[in-house]
Chains A and B, each alone.
Chain A
Amino acid sequence: MNGGEVPRVEHETKGSTVIVRIEGDVDAANAAGVRDGISRLLTNHLMGLVLDLSRTRYLDSAGIQMLLDLSERLRSRGQDLSLYVTREQPLRLTLTLFELERAFPVVDSLEEALAKIDPAPG
């Protein structure tokens, strides 16, 4: 049995927003690592984080916990979080089940996700 798969995490900075794209699966084997990797990208001058999950296939309960951890961390720093998930992705079901849309915007285009990062803090 080969070790747990690590999803490919790429990031890109657009203005004062960082976009993180997760390609692959987020599960109990890697969620904490992914979370910590993303946390390292969150510098103080950022307005917010856009998580691009459009190429993420599975996001299990550990992945949900990861999203909530990140959201909490960003909130405490006055930074925004928005999620890009396409309409067709089944993992939307999981997000809806745990009402993540109430914690942060979940939208179906990257542009919209970027627009959700409030340029004027507070």
Chain B
Amino acid sequence: MPRRQAADTATTPSNRSGPGAGYFEAIVESSEDAILSKDRNLVIRSWNPAAAALYGYPAEEAIGQPISILIPEHRAGEERDILRRVLDGQRVGHYDTERLRKDGTLVAVSLSVSPISEPDGSISGASVIARDVSGRRRAADRAARLQHLTTELAKAVAPEEVVNVALREALAALNAHAGAVGLLDEGGDTIRVAGYSGYSHTSLASWETFAVKAALPMSEVVRTGTPAWVVGQEELVSRYPALAGAEIKFRSRAVVPLRADGRVFGAISLSFREARSFEPDERAFLEAIVQQAAYALDRARLHAAEQRTRQKLDFLARASELLAHSLDVETTLQQLATFVVPRLADWCAVDLLSDGEIKAVAVAHANPAKVELARELQRRHPADPDAPVAAPAVIRSGRSELHPAITEELLAAAAPDDEALEIIRGLGLVSAMVVPLRARGRTLGALTLVAAESGRRFTSDDLEVAEDLARRAGLAVENAMLYAREHRAAVTLQRSLLPRDLPRLPGLQLAARYLPAGVGADVGGDWYDTIDLADGRLHLVVGDVAGRGIRAASVMGQLRNALRAYVLDGCSPQEAVGRLNRLARTFESSEMATLVHISFDLRKREAECVRAGHPPPLIRGPNGEVTELAIQGSLPIGVSQGPCPTTTIQIEPGSLILMYTDGLVERRGEGIKPGLEKLKRALRTAPAEPEPCLDFVLHALTQTGSEDDVALLLMRVDKTADQPLELTVPAEPSALAPIRRAVEAWLADQRIDLRDGWQIVAACNEACANASEHAYAPTQAGSIEIEARKQGPRIVVTVHDHGQWRRPRGHDRGRGLTLMNYFMDRVDVERSQEGTTVRMERTVGRGNGT
């Protein structure tokens, strides 16, 4: 076998003669593999130049030495195994192991060991061919590393994660001591350090960002797109003078560009403590790693940007939804401010320009106490409209402000005074942006967003979101303002169509109200009307045109005027409503309306009533009982064909008649019934005087803003004036309520002001309560006589019982008498055998409180 022969020959250079000896010797001498031989005693006998190169020992040093000089301690047992096999005549091939160099380092080798046979067949030693396989080992190692890197990068989603993985792997690849990843900013002229390792924080602080055009390794690499390999301190300083003195503990540097789609977007830089060169395979390996990282980083950045865009759109979409929610400007803006916190900022405030003044309309913070503080601040220290910064400046200029960091100077410029400045300082504001609310080229106000607790610093990206938000808010505000204006116009129109003054007639009192629906609902077509024919008849109308808006209001105007004309023409309610019906059918669009029309004869106290599709009026009789006025109904105006029936009703003196539209009693989802019951209850306990009576009824029924407009007309039919009230009731507490009602009604007949009247009723109530409690023994039935009369400006009330007066005591503790004395100008208590008489008087119409 040639190989074996070659080995044989090579291992016995000294005693070799014969034809091929020189030839083989030349082969051995020039072999790239280390070739050596050892005898049975494991002493090195021959040693070629490649062996010298591999192990570091020249031939003269190696020959004669035991082979163990090449064997690392942890491989000591190996040699015996190999020897045993060789002495057995076997050949050992491609034995992968490690050997020790003269300098103490290990080298990976692949050994082929063959026995050296003597002519007598005995084995005298072994030849060894050793091949340096560290290159191969490294290649396998690197392949595994790249594989690992790819897996790790695939797992990393966020750009920061990718940066960390890339940095870790690049450092490990070349055993670097420190490294950094720099990324090009959006603008393209700064590089920002996105991750680093091995540098001290202080040394890096000054390198957080640096210019692309700077004379620095990373800048240069980003500019040129070619890697930089700097092998020692000297070269480093001569190529990059800016680095002189900085980080002297690192002598060598490798910087490789991050590139995707042919575009350089950053670089990875590695630093080494030792001065070292970079072999081509090392360079290629590092470049391969960086390339993998570049792809991953590019993908991650795209993904993150996409996600940010999606979040931004989602945020803006939700904000838009919110803005579309209400037509009330301040409600809308407060909702917006609350929505923005803490998504975009820790504080949000909205200021609107109103008649040339800046008005703070909304403020939000996660902590309600802080909101209160801010409101207080706004109340006590209103913004200076000439302030050079913040909302006033933005409202003036229409241009946004971005303050990535809030400085003391900025606060001082924004604060209206020193006290406010002190409070603002205490809020720990970090960063701010102020954007104009604009619509149709007009600046309506400003949206202020401030970061505090979160420590967030606003960027141009955030400003973009804020501006987008402000654009949408501006439009919403504009819409709401337009709407409010239209709403006001419609309400004004409607009011202008309603009678300004109610007639003043002897023997009856009138009160009326029109309430537009709340903001957010359209104006409706409700109306009321009174027509005094001066012939002893008064016409009362309450009606409701279906539909909303200015159109309904104008139809209402036509119907009202037509009805007036018919009435003035001498029509009865039945004739007038019949003609109205015919008129309504001539309208272009079929408008429908409902109404109640009453013609009241003042002398006869007789009401002639027509009810077309409208809820029945309520009547409170002199006894306080509330019922529906039993008017036969017909179909609504515009629908009805035949004549509408008339109902004539006798009205007792002291009655209240309440006409209303369904907006008062109808509630969405409830219908009319619960509201009607509520209305009846309210009317039962309402004051007898028309104006306070309507106030009371409205307070009871319109607790939450009505969705519909409401028209109300109330008529009170007086008792004959100047007639005293005379009343006899059982002496028991259950009589108190009817007594109050009766006295109140009588006082209303006398046209006594409610405040005077209430106090007189209250005093009378106490006198009667005393009488019912104290005058008679519990088992004794008795009665109380009440008399009230008007003597000029004075009201005199007498309460008489037939029992024995006892001093008020017990649970009442004399409060009753105190009340009487407080509410009346004079109280006399007269006791006699016949009973007790309490005489009280009060001068009315003085207009003072008590």
Q: Return chain B residues, CB-CB under 8 Å to A55.
A: 682, 696, 699-700
Q: Return chain A residues, CB-CB under 8 Å to B681.
A: 8, 23
Give Cα A62 to B736, complex, Å: 12
Give Cα A64 to B772, complex, Å: 18
Contact of A90 among B736, B759, B816 (CB under 8 A): B759
Contact B815–A61 (Cβ < 8 Å): yes
- Contact A58/B730 with A23-B700, A65-B812 known, Cβ cut-off 8 Å: no
Q: Return chain B residues, CB-CB under 8 Å to A1.
A: 729-730, 734-735, 738
B784 to chain A, nearest CB (A): 11
Interface assignment of A27: CB less than 8 Å from any CB of chain B: yes
A57 (CB) vs chain B CBs: closest residue = B685
Give Cα A104 to B414, complex, Å: 44
Q: Return chain A residues, CB-CB under 8 Å to B732.
A: 29
Total cross-chain contacts (CB, 8 A): 95
A110 to chain B, nearest CB (A): 10
Give Cα A46 to B299, complex, Å: 59
Give Cα A2 to B685, complex, Å: 15
Give the contacts of A48-64 with B (CB-CB under 8 A).
54-55, 57-58, 60-62, 64
Interface assignment of B57: CB less than 8 Å from any CB of chain A: no
Contact B812–A58 (Cβ < 8 Å): no
B506 to chain A, nearest CB (A): 28
Q: Return chain A residues, CB-CB under 8 Å to B773.
A: 28
Contact A60–B769 (Cβ < 8 Å): yes
- Contact A62/B700 with A28-B769, A97-B822 known, Cβ cut-off 8 Å: no
Interface digits, B814-831 against A, CB 8 Å rule (1 contact, 0 not)? 011011001100000000
Among B211-219, B511-519, B760-768, the one that faces the other chain is B760-768
- Contact A97/B736 with A54-B699, A61-B812 known, Cβ cut-off 8 Å: no
Interface digits, A25-36 against B, CB 8 Å rule (1 contact, 0 not)? 101111000000
Give Cα A21 to B729, complex, Å: 30
Give Cα A58 to B812, complex, Å: 16
Contact of A29 among B686, B734, B822 (CB under 8 A): B734
Give Cα A98 to B758, complex, Å: 17
A80 to chain B, nearest CB (A): 21
Interface assignment of A122: CB less than 8 Å from any CB of chain B: no
Q: Return chain A residues, CB-CB under 8 Å to B504.
A: none
Contact A57–B733 (Cβ < 8 Å): no
Interface assignment of A24: CB less than 8 Å from any CB of chain B: yes
Give Cα A62 to B770, complex, Å: 11
- Contact A4/B765 with A28-B772, A62-B812, A98-B815 known, Cβ cut-off 8 Å: no
Q: Return chain B residues, CB-CB under 8 Å to A29.
A: 732-734, 736-737
Contact A65–B811 (Cβ < 8 Å): yes
Contact B762–A27 (Cβ < 8 Å): no
Contact A62–B811 (Cβ < 8 Å): yes
A55 (CB) vs chain B CBs: closest residue = B700
Contact of B740 among A58, A62, A97 (CB under 8 A): A58
Interface class of chain B by DSSP: helix
- Contact A5/B737 with A64-B815, A94-B819, A97-B819 known, Cβ cut-off 8 Å: yes
Interface assignment of A3: CB less than 8 Å from any CB of chain B: yes
- Contact A90/B733 with A1-B738, A23-B685, A97-B822 known, Cβ cut-off 8 Å: no
Contact A27–B765 (Cβ < 8 Å): yes
B817 (CB) vs chain A CBs: closest residue = A61
Contact B736–A4 (Cβ < 8 Å): yes
Interface digits, A58-85 against B, CB 8 Å rule (1 contact, 0 not)? 1011101100000000000000000000
Give Cα A5 to B732, complex, Å: 13
B813 (CB) vs chain A CBs: closest residue = A65
Interface assignment of A120: CB less than 8 Å from any CB of chain B: no
B53 to chain A, nearest CB (A): 88
Interface assignment of B755: CB less than 8 Å from any CB of chain A: yes
Q: Return chain A residues, CB-CB under 8 Å to B734.
A: 1-4, 29
Q: How many residues of B contact A (CB 8 A)?
A: 41
- Contact A25/B811 with A3-B734, A60-B765, A60-B819 known, Cβ cut-off 8 Å: no
Interface assignment of B849: CB less than 8 Å from any CB of chain A: yes
Contact A4–B729 (Cβ < 8 Å): no
- Contact A60/B733 with A24-B685, A93-B850, A97-B822 known, Cβ cut-off 8 Å: no
Interface assignment of B687: CB less than 8 Å from any CB of chain A: yes
Give Cα A37 to B241, complex, Å: 92
A21 to chain B, nearest CB (A): 10
Q: Return chain A residues, CB-CB under 8 Å to B695.
A: 88
Interface digits, B158-202 against A, CB 8 Å rule (1 contact, 0 not)? 000000000000000000000000000000000000000000000
B685 (CB) vs chain A CBs: closest residue = A24
Contact A25–B699 (Cβ < 8 Å): no
Give Cα A54 to B580, complex, Å: 42
Interface assignment of B754: CB less than 8 Å from any CB of chain A: yes
B433 to chain A, nearest CB (A): 34
- Contact A93/B769 with A1-B730, A3-B734, A4-B736 known, Cβ cut-off 8 Å: no
Give Cα A29 to B729, complex, Å: 14
Q: Return chain A residues, CB-CB under 8 Å to B761.
A: 58
Q: Return chain B residues, CB-CB under 8 Å to A93.
A: 759, 822-823, 849-850
A97 (CB) vs chain B CBs: closest residue = B822
B700 (CB) vs chain A CBs: closest residue = A55
Q: Return chain B residues, CB-CB under 8 Å to A57.
A: 685-687, 696
A25 (CB) vs chain B CBs: closest residue = B737
Interface digits, B547-577 against A, CB 8 Å rule (1 contact, 0 not)? 0000000000000000000000000000000
Give Cα A25 to B769, complex, Å: 14
Give Cα A25 to B738, complex, Å: 11
Q: Return chain B residues, CB-CB under 8 Å to A2.
A: 734, 738
A26 to chain B, nearest CB (A): 10
Q: Return chain B residues, CB-CB under 8 Å to A24.
A: 685
Q: Return chain B residues, CB-CB under 8 Å to A86.
A: 699
Contact B765–A90 (Cβ < 8 Å): no
Interface digits, B721-747 against A, CB 8 Å rule (1 contact, 0 not)? 000000001101111111010000000
Contact of B758 among A64, A65, A90 (CB under 8 A): A90
Contact A61–B850 (Cβ < 8 Å): no
Give Cα A83 to B488, complex, Å: 36
Contact A60–B685 (Cβ < 8 Å): no
Q: Return chain B residues, CB-CB under 8 Å to A62.
A: 769, 811-812
Q: Return chain B residues, CB-CB under 8 Å to A98.
A: 815, 818
A60 (CB) vs chain B CBs: closest residue = B765
Give Cα A90 to B736, complex, Å: 18
Q: Return chain A residues, CB-CB under 8 Å to B819.
A: 60-61, 94, 97
Contact A28–B735 (Cβ < 8 Å): no
B737 to chain A, nearest CB (A): 4
Give Cα A117 to B732, complex, Å: 38
Contact A65–B815 (Cβ < 8 Å): yes
Contact A27–B738 (Cβ < 8 Å): no
Q: Return chain A residues, CB-CB under 8 Å to B686.
A: 57
B819 (CB) vs chain A CBs: closest residue = A61
Give Cα A117 to B155, complex, Å: 56
Give the contacts of B515-555 with A (CB-CB under 8 A).
none
B9 to chain A, nearest CB (A): 105
Contact B740–A61 (Cβ < 8 Å): no
Give Cα A5 to B735, complex, Å: 9
B407 to chain A, nearest CB (A): 39
Q: Return chain B residues, CB-CB under 8 Å to A28.
A: 733, 736, 769, 772-773
A61 (CB) vs chain B CBs: closest residue = B815
What would be 17 A-B contacts, judged by CB atoms less than 8 Å apart?
A: A1-B730, A2-B734, A2-B738, A3-B734, A4-B733, A27-B737, A28-B772, A29-B736, A54-B699, A58-B740, A60-B736, A60-B766, A61-B815, A61-B819, A90-B754, A97-B818, A97-B822
List the 10 closest A-B pairs by CB distance, nearest first.
A4-B734, A29-B733, A61-B815, A90-B758, A5-B737, A28-B733, A28-B769, A61-B816, A27-B736, A3-B734
Given A4-B734, A27-B769, A86-B699, 5 new contacts (CB under 8 A): A29-B736, A57-B696, A60-B766, A64-B815, A65-B813
